[in-house]
Amino acid sequence: MPRLWQELGLALLMLLGGGIVACVFAAMPVQALVGATVALAVIVLLLARFWGDPQRSLGPANQVTLVRAVLVCMLVGALFAPAWGAQWAWLLAAISMLALVLDGVDGWVARRWRCASAYGARFDMELDALLILVLCAHLLQMGKAGSWVLAIGLMRYGFVAAMLRWPWLGAPLPDSDRRKLVCVVQVASLLLCLLPLVDASLATALLLPALALLAWSFAVDVHWLHRAVRGGTADNRRREG
C-alpha cells in the first residue's frame, strides 16, 4: 500500500478507535461517530487529491497536523449530538485544548526537521479555520452566544469568497506573528466559553472583543493587499510610460 494511504488510513483508525471508546465509556451517540468519520474522510480525500505522489510520506509536520485533523473531526461529529455535546462540554474543551497545543507543535516540528512547505501551511491554515467555525457552532448550539458568533468562524470563508470578486485579495501575504496571535486568541476564547462554568453573559463578554480583534486583523491584511496592488499598478504604468 502506498505510504500516503497508510498514513491517512491510520488517521481514520485513530478516529474510529477514539470514537468507539467515547461511545462505550461516555455514551456518545452513534451519529456523532458517523459525522466525525465522514468529516475526516472528506479531509483525507482532499489531502490525497492535492498531495500528488501517493508513494511519498506526508512528513513529520503534516503528520502532526493530521492528528489535529482527527481531533477537529471529533468536534465536528459532536455537532450531530447537541445534547451529548452540552453534557460533555468539558471533554469538548479538552479536545479543543489538545488541538490548540498541536497547532504549535506542528510548526515547531516543521522548523526542527526543515520540512515546512506551502502545502503544510495551507493544510494548517484551513484546519484552523475549520476548528474555529466548529467551536462557534457548538457555542450557538449550547445557547451561549447568538448567531453573531458564527461571524468569527465564517470570516475566513467570507474572505476567500471575496477573492472571486476581487482577485487581488488572493495575493500572498507576508508571514505575520500578529495573524498567528489573533488565531490563538480566537481558539482560546472559544475554548474557554465551552467550559460549563462560563455562562452566556460571560461568553458574550469574551467573544465580542475576540470578534472585533479578528475583524481588525482582516482589515489590516486587506489594507496591505490593496496598497500592494495599487503600488504594483503604479509601477507598471511607470514602466509602460
C-alpha torsion sign, points 28, 30, 36, 40: positive
Whether the predicted pLDDT of 236 surpasses 60: no
Q: What is the rounded CA–CA span in Å between residue 174 and residue 43?
A: 27
DSSP string, 39-93: HHHHHHHHHHHHH--TTS---HHHHHHHHHHHHHHHHHHHTT-HHHHHHTHHHHH
User: What value does the mean pLDDT of the chain take?
Assistant: 94
**For the residues 209-225, what does the mean pLDDT come to?**
96
Give me the percent of the chain exceeding a pLDDT of 70. 96
Say what the pLDDT of residue 155 is.
97
Distances (CA, A) of 215 to 127, 184, 194, 208, 221: 19, 14, 22, 11, 10
Q: What number of CA atoms fall less than 13 Å from residue 187's CA on the CB side? A: 26
pLDDT at residue 140, as a whole number: 98
What does the pLDDT read at residue 229?
A: 86
* pLDDT value at 233 more than 80: no
The per-residue pLDDT for range 11-68, each reduced to its tens digit, is: 999 999 999 999 999 999 999 999 999 999 999 999 999 998 999 999 999 999 999 9
pLDDT digits (tens, 9 = 90+) for 83-123: 999 999 999 999 999 999 999 999 999 999 999 999 999 99
> What pLDDT score does 10 carry?
98
